[in-house]
Structure 1
Amino acid sequence: MIAERIRQARLAADLTQEQLADKVGMTKQVISKYENGKSQPNASVIMKLAHALNQEPGYFLRQPQTTVDWLGYRSKATLGVKAREGIQYRAETYVEQYVSLAEKLAMEHLETLPRNQSVQTVDEAEKLALRVRQDWSLGHLPIDDITRLIEIKGGIVFGEQHEPDTRFDGLSGWINGERPVIVLNLSMPTDRRRFSLAHELAHLLMDETSNTHKDVEKFANRFAGAFIVSKEAAHQELGLRRNMLNLNELIILKRKYGLSIAGWIYRARDLDIISAATARRLWQELGELGWRKQEPVELEAEEAPTRLRQMVLRAHAEGIISRTQAENLCPGCLPPIENKHKVLSPREIMRLPFEERQRLLAESVKAAQGEDFELLEAFGEADFVD
């Protein structure tokens, strides 16, 4: 157990064995033995590993209470195996912390997503998206925040932000076989995050065993477009049949529905609102404007998970977890502690007795240990008078 936990924490921290060894003052060979189970770290070493890997010492001694069955990646081939493992392990650590805190707060997820839905055609993917919208009482209106919606419905969304990496889009899986989790790349533009969330939702819902990978991706893309913009909404906004679309028109619709300009072109073509020739002309126009690489309008919606942050703030307010535990679970969630000591001006300091000045100086030196700062010679001995 300890061996796998060390390896998991190291990959989650995006460190090689050699880099971890340097951090804890050991050799790569020793770290390798720990991870292979050929040697057991003592308590002192576990403390060092915990500090280096930003984990609590107990993390290495606990048996994981959650397991995730990952369904598959949406990523480029250049995303290596170790990078994928790092993303998975960071997500699994997040899930473990999330579920543990939810249990402490006696918070249960509200509902379970329907699984293993048979989808054999793009039309069936379209119908599945409509059924989910109806079951969730969404009608045909725009969805303001897909992340929040999935969290409300019981899903866990992990925002991957270790390093900006456009090679990775999304990942989804099932926690202990019953609760969905989606990994979202926060370095992506908001419209792409929204599409990835809907795409991964399709993977969670569909029975993919009888379809090829190519068909599965095609069905998931169709579901995503239909989930963000229903067929009825697309017809209402664009009409049943168009000879051409204006890109400025699509900018307005992008802001309204949170679907990219490119996504609207795909959606219009999927629903036969425009012909294949019209779609090609629009793609050419996008390319000439440079909009295929970066579209001109960014969405205001954040599309980032907030549920864990909310739980951490609640647990800390109720005294269920300490400030240190809160910071480990959600760095930066708590406001900084205000310094209640009065800040003295230079003139006030000079008026203090010599012994008091020495005491304040000693406290300042102790507080500043480990900090980098320039030596300022603002005062000389002649400036201080006993």
Structure 2
Amino acid sequence: MKEVNIDRIKLARESRGLSQTALAKQMKTASQVLLSKIEKGLSNVTDNVLDELCLILNYPKEFFYKEHDIYPLKHFYFRKNLGISVLKSRELEAEINKYSSNFIDLLDAVDIDTQIPYIDIEEQGLTPESLAIQIRELFNIPKGPIRDIVKTIEKRGVIIHIVDFPKDIKISGVSFITTIGTPFILINKNISNSRKRFTLAHELGHLIMHFKTGIISEDRDIEKEADRFASNFLVPSNEVRNDLFKLTEEKLGYLKQYWLVSMQALLYKAKDLGTISQDQHKRWSIKFSKNGWKTIEPLESTLELTTPKLLERMIKIHLDDLEYSTTELANLFGLSLPEFEQKYLKPFDGFELYLSEKNKIRRLKIKIN
């Protein structure tokens, strides 16, 4: 008989944005006193309580039987401006843990060759900028812009997934390395493509510099380090410096379209390289605020981002080679079918047509047999 993983009860509750008090108010089979004891492992979960938890929290029973470890938010790196309540931060933590456990489910049957280095920049005497250039060389990236940042990172065995985070959780991206050593990056669907590109490079910097280097001194600003890495990874200073003098709106627009990064990122780089003064940068910042460009920049529609393929291939291997149905795969993940489809099928272009054709073939096979 399967045993309920009590940690998954708290995970399920927090992933739905509910406090223990709020959940208990909706339950008929358990008071908050009992619910508290259940979550602490001091009381057993009866069948009636489990059935009601499944109903209220909209999870199948399989969700509560899964044995994956659950990590606190501090174990993840993310480009963010959180400013959210404790309850919302727990909701975010729960969502990231759910994605992590689902990726591990897929990786049980799929091997991924991860080829990114883990480097202690203090030990190696490197700056984030110099490391970024070394990584460009390691990845065989030619001079100039990185045309397909998604493909560049996925080729190194990093899972990328575009996620529809709640709009009140102001997070651009998250990175983590699973317990079996596979790195992943989650990117917020609701940010601009220029910000998605920078966030991918930022999170790659975290993966390389900060995950496997032991204890990192509190004196180091790891978010700033990841920003510096991303800036030089996407736009090497020695290649762009001469173009960052005498900036105009037209010139910024041209550079944005060429380097595929935001105008604001280019202005920060110009300030850091000393090609514009602090006062000039301040005047640009005021102009961007006045025109609403800090939210939506000009020419943003010209920047495209390819759909990640690695996770899509992993799912298709389960559906094709391992002959899972979508319902069976949803059960493997411990999700309802609608939530599974929302999280893992709809983000991929053409997946609904693929499943439709696949179901036609299945029906034909059944008819023939």
Q: TM-score range by the shorter chain?
A: 0.7 to 0.9
Describe how 1:63-102 pairs up with structure 2 within 5 A. 63-64=67-68, 70-76=75-81, 78-102=83-107
1:323 is the counterpart of 2:348: no
Preserved contact between residue 159 and residue 184 of structure 1 (Cα < 8 Å): yes
Opposite residue 40 of structure 2, the aligned amino acid is N
Cα RMSD for the two superposed structures: 3.4
Q: CA deviation at 1:223?
A: 0.8
SS where residue 197 of structure 2 aligns? helix
Aligned to 2:133: 130
SS where residue 75 of structure 2 aligns? strand
- Provide the C-alpha distance between the structure 2 equivalents of 1:63 and 1:319, rounded to a whole number of angstroms: 22
SS where residue 173 of structure 2 aligns? strand
- Provide the C-alpha distance between the structure 2 equivalents of 1:315 and 1:177, rounded to a whole number of angstroms: 19
Preserved contact between residue 19 and residue 87 of structure 2 (Cα < 8 Å): no
- Larger % of helix: which? 2
Aligned to 2:194: 191
Preserved contact between residue 191 and residue 260 of structure 1 (Cα < 8 Å): yes
The one of 109, 112, 115 equivalent to 2:112 is 109
Aligned to 1:360: none
Aligned to 1:60: 64
Evaluate the alpha carbon distance shift between residue 182 and residue 82 of structure 1 in structure 2; reply closer, same or farther with a 3 A threshold.
Answer: farther
- Provide the C-alpha distance between the structure 2 equivalents of 1:19 and 1:305, rounded to a whole number of angstroms: 37
Preserved contact between residue 68 and residue 101 of structure 2 (Cα < 8 Å): yes
Describe how 1:224-263 pairs up with structure 2 within 5 A. 224-235=230-241, 238-239=242-243, 242=245, 244-263=246-265
Evaluate the alpha carbon distance shift between residue 287 and residue 64 of structure 1 in structure 2; reply closer, same or farther with a 3 A threshold.
Answer: closer
- Provide the C-alpha distance between the structure 1 equivalents of 2:43 and 2:285, rounded to a whole number of angstroms: 59
The one of 40, 46, 52 equivalent to 1:42 is 46
User: What CA deviation, in whole Å up to 9, does each residue of 1:8-42 have, x standing for no partner?
Assistant: 12212223335545666444524333222232223
Q: Unaligned 5+ residue runs, structure 2? A: 334-339, 346-350, 361-369
**Greater Rg by CA:** 1
Aligned to 2:270: 268
- Provide the C-alpha distance between the structure 1 equivalents of 2:140 and 2:207, rounded to a whole number of angstroms: 19
1:156 is the counterpart of 2:159: yes
Q: CA deviation at 1:158?
A: 4.4
The TM-score normalised by the length of structure 2 is: 0.77
SS where residue 331 of structure 1 aligns? helix
- Provide the C-alpha distance between the structure 2 equivalents of 1:223 and 1:287, rounded to a whole number of angstroms: 26
Q: CA deviation at 1:260?
A: 0.8
- Provide the C-alpha distance between the structure 2 equivalents of 1:227 and 1:39, rounded to a whole number of angstroms: 52
- Provide the C-alpha distance between the structure 2 equivalents of 1:23 and 1:315, rounded to a whole number of angstroms: 37
Aligned to 1:32: 36
Evaluate the alpha carbon distance shift between residue 108 and residue 232 of structure 1 in structure 2; reply closer, same or farther with a 3 A threshold.
Answer: farther
Opposite residue 254 of structure 1, the aligned amino acid is K
Q: Unaligned 5+ residue runs, structure 1? A: 341-386
Q: CA deviation at 1:170?
A: 3.2
Evaluate the alpha carbon distance shift between residue 119 and residue 257 of structure 1 in structure 2; reply closer, same or farther with a 3 A threshold.
Answer: farther
- Provide the C-alpha distance between the structure 2 equivalents of 1:322 and 1:47, rounded to a whole number of angstroms: 24
Specify which structure has the bigger relative contact order, considering alpha-carbon pairs within 8 angstroms and separated by 6 or more residues. 2
Preserved contact between residue 125 and residue 223 of structure 1 (Cα < 8 Å): yes
